[in-house]
Amino acid sequence: MIEIDDLHKRYGDKTALTGVSFAVKPGEMFGFVGANGAGKTTTMRILMGVLAADSGQVRWDGRPLTFEDRRKFGYMPEERGLYQKMKVSEQVQYFGRLNGMSAAQAAKATADLLERLSLTERAGDEVGALSLGNQQRVQLAVALVHGPEVLVLDEPFSGLDPIAVDALAEVLLERRSAGVPVLFSSHQLDLVERLCDSVGIISAGRMVASDTVEELRAREGRRLLKVVVRDAAPGWTAGLGGNITEKGDEVLFADVNGSDQEILRAATKAGTVEHFGWERPTLTEIFREAVA
């Protein structure tokens, strides 16, 4: 398990992180979300040892991370670092060798990954000749080539078309299933909701939520009661508790505390009840509320 514990970081007199903590378990896909400048990249750089924290600690299986541990990690930095003049296949193999693979191992892992990421036909091209989306795939292959035990990816999906997003998602889900903790940052909340087991929301250097997606969406105070009554007598919701939003026949009750049966009785009296049920907020709605 990767544990980020109470990180603090300032750049001069600018505070970037104040007490950032969260954990990513083996076989867990953790989405790290937050607005621009919230502190995602800073946190991931500290995790990877590229940047030192002012205080706080990063632990792996209970002990502080070492340089040797980090060699077993796969990292995709925000500033993409590829050699533009090097050929795709050579580049990926080169990073595999840097991480201790034999030439044969690196060649095999590279061929497999290029195939998975639909880059086989570009294997002999210089990186600089590829589209940005394809360069991004190469960057990903570089992060994955040595079969990392932990994945830390800074905005890996940004700039990818939907096909490439799916290809990358499949590779990451596979690594997760093999027990690898996967941490990635993203602005694409629908994607995070689709892929991640857990989510951490950071706002202005503080964690404002960190939990399983299931738990965040199911939390009592966040649920909405949706009621649809056909041919309802006007004003049937008058006097009912909660925070009410009406749209045509549909009525949404927020902050309902245990009085749902009273609402059901009023709805039945008012007309034909077509729908009566609890709705869970989307991750986007939770995010808006959390960073508001």
Ligand X SMILES: Nc1ncnc2c1ncn2[C@@H]1O[C@H](COP(=O)(O)OP(=O)(O)O)[C@@H](O)[C@H]1O
Nearer to ligand X, 43 or 237 (CB): 43
Q: Does residue 127 touch ligand X according to CB under 6 A? A: no
Site string for ligand X, 37-76 (x = CB under 6 A): xxxxxx----------------------------------
Euclidean distance between CA atoms 80 and 261, whole angstroms? 56
Is 152 in a helix, a strand, or coil?
strand
Work out the angle at residue 208's Cα, subtended by the Cα atoms of residues 43 and 165, and round it to the nearest 5 degrees.
60
CB of 15 to ligand X, least distance (A): 8
Q: Does 19 bind ligand X (CB under 6 A)?
A: no
CB 140 within 8 A of CB 164: no
Q: Which is nearer to Mg ion, 41 or 135 (CB)?
A: 41
Both structure tokens of 109: 């892992």
Residue 247 near which of Mg ion, ligand X, none (CB within 5-8 Å, type-dependent): none
Distance of CA 19 to CAs 6, 16, 56, 153, 201, Å? 4, 10, 8, 21, 13
- Taking the C-alpha atoms of residue 81 and residue 115, their distance in angstroms, rounded to an integer, is 22
Can you tell me which of 7, 17, 28, 41 binds Mg ion, judged by CB under 5 A? 41
13 contributes a contact to ligand X by CB under 6 A: no
Q: How far is the CB of 40 from ligand X (least distance, A)?
A: 3
- 4 is an interface residue for ligand X by CB under 6 A: no
Q: Which is nearer to ligand X, 22 or 253 (CB)?
A: 22
Do the Cβ atoms of 42 and 23 come closer than 8 Å? no
Report d(CA 168, CA 140) in Å as an integer. Answer: 8
Q: Which helix (H) or strand (E) holds 211?
A: strand 206-212
Binding piece for ligand X, criterion CB under 6 A, among 9-17, 138-146, 186-194, 230-238? 9-17
Of 67-86, binders to Mg ion (CB under 5 A) are: 78
Residue 33, H or E segment: strand 29-33
**Would you tell me which residues interact with Mg ion (CB under 5 A)?**
40-41, 78
Give residues in contact with ligand X (CB under 6 A): 11, 14, 16, 34, 36-42
